Amino acid sequence: MIELIVKILLISGTFFFLGTVVGLIRFPDFFTRVHAASKGDTLSSIMLLSGLAIYNLSENSFDSLLVSLKIVLIIAFVFIASPAAAHSLTEAGFLAGYRPWTNDLVDEKEKEEEK
């Protein structure tokens, strides 16, 4: 049963990392790419590290318990640091002059329809 949970967590984490990569490639501007990287990286890292911590606990020794505790502390750090870093990056990008992407083609079509 534990092996099944570990496999699900590892496969799901890998799937969300793949989604993050696709978001980084396909999204049109800086802000949406940072959003994809932040959310996908946080979720997939937490899933992968949770799977590793659970797998490590199957050994039932004090050393494996300490290693799993360290992994849980890493999860807490990632959970706090990744969104904070993304917020700092987006604020720095906005202050540097980057503006959010707008779909100019849709805006032009709406203006033409209003005339």
Sequence-distant (≥ 6) Cβ neighbours of residue 6 within 8 angstroms = 51, 54, 55
DSSP-derived 3-state class of residue 101 = coil
User: pLDDT tens for residues 52-109?
Assistant: 999 998 888 898 899 999 999 999 999 999 999 999 999 999 999 888 887 776 666 6
Query: What is Dmax (Cα atoms) for the chain?
Result: 75
Domain total for the chain?
1
Which helix or strand (DSSP H or E) is residue 12 part of?
helix 2-26
Q: Are 40 and 28 in contact (CB under 8 A)?
A: no
Q: Are 75 and 50 in contact (CB under 8 A)?
A: yes
Q: What is the pLDDT of residue 107?
A: 61
Q: Are 17 and 40 in contact (CB under 8 A)?
A: yes
Residue span of the structural domain in which 26 resides: 2-114
pTM of the predicted model, to two decimals? Answer: 0.79
Q: Are 53 and 68 in contact (CB under 8 A)?
A: yes
Confidence of residue 115 (pLDDT cuts 50, 70, 90): low
Q: Are 97 and 61 in contact (CB under 8 A)?
A: no
